[in-house]
C-alpha cells in the first residue's frame, strides 16, 4: 500500500526558499523526502557523467514546475520573477487615480488630440520621404555603388 493516501498526495514544486540556483533540486528533495545536499550531489554527478544532459532537464523542470506555495525568497531564478511581479504591482498602483485627478493633472482632450495629430503627421511625412527615396532612381544608383 502506498504511503500517500489519495487526498494527501504531495505535489512537486520548485522551492526558492531553499534554492542554490533555481530551487529544482530543493523541490525534488522535498518531494522525495531526501536531504537537499544529497539530491544536489546526485544532480552534479549526473552532470559530470552524462555530458550535460541534466542541465537541459534541470532548466526544463525550472520552467515546468510551479513555485512552492507560500515561498517568500527571491533567491536564484526567482529573483527576477518576483521583482517583475512587485514592479508590475507598483506600476498598477500608480494608475488607480480617480477620473477627477486625471483630468486635473493632464491637458484638455482637444490639446491631447492636437498633439497626437502632429505626431502622426510627422510620422506620415517621414514615411512618405522613405517611400519616395526607395522608389527613386537615386536609391537604385546608391544600391549599385554599394555592390562595387
Nearest Cα neighbor of 18 from 75, 66, 70 is 75
Instruction: Tell me if 35 sits within 8 A of 91, measured CB to CB.
Output: no
State the pLDDT at residue 30. Answer: 85
CA contacts within 13 A on the Cβ side of 78: 22
Q: Which DSSP category does 16 fall into?
A: G
CA distance 38 to 25: 9
CA distance 96 to 102: 10
- The answer to whether the Cα torsion of 129, 132, 135, 139 is positive or negative is negative
- The answer to whether the Cα torsion of 21, 75, 27, 86 is positive or negative is negative
Instruction: Tell me if 33 sits within 8 A of 4, measured CB to CB.
Output: no
CA contacts within 13 A on the Cβ side of 19: 22
Instruction: Tell me if 82 sits within 8 A of 74, measured CB to CB.
Output: yes
State the pLDDT at residue 126. Answer: 92
State the pLDDT at residue 121. Answer: 92
State the pLDDT at residue 124. Answer: 93
The cell for 66 is 510551479
Task: Please identify which residue in the block is written with the cell numbers 536531504.
Answer: 35
State the pLDDT at residue 122. Answer: 92
CA distance 73 to 75: 6
Spans of the chain below 70 pLDDT: 1-9, 73-108
Amino acid at each position: 500500500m502506498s504511503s500517500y493516501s489519495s487526498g494527501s498526495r504531495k505535489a512537486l514544486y520548485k522551492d526558492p526558499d531553499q534554492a542554490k540556483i533555481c530551487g529544482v533540486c530543493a523541490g525534488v528533495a522535498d518531494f522525495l523526502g531526501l536531504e537537499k545536499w544529497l539530491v544536489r550531489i546526485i544532480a552534479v554527478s549526473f552532470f559530470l557523467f552524462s555530458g550535460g544532459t541534466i542541465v537541459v532537464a534541470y532548466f526544463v523542470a525550472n520552467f515546468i514546475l510551479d513555485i512552492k506555495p507560500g515561498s517568500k525568497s527571491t533567491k536564484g531564478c526567482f529573483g527576477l520573477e518576483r521583482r517583475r511581479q512587485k514592479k508590475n504591482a507598483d506600476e498598477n498602483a500608480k494608475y488607480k487615480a480617480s477620473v477627477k485627478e486625471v483630468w486635473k493633472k493632464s491637458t484638455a482632450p482637444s490639446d491631447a488630440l492636437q498633439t497626437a495629430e502632429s505626431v502622426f503627421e510627422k510620422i506620415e511625412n517621414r514615411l512618405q520621404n522613405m517611400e519616395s527615396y526607395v522608389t527613386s532612381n537615386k536609391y537604385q544608383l546608391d544600391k549599385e555603388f554599394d555592390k562595387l
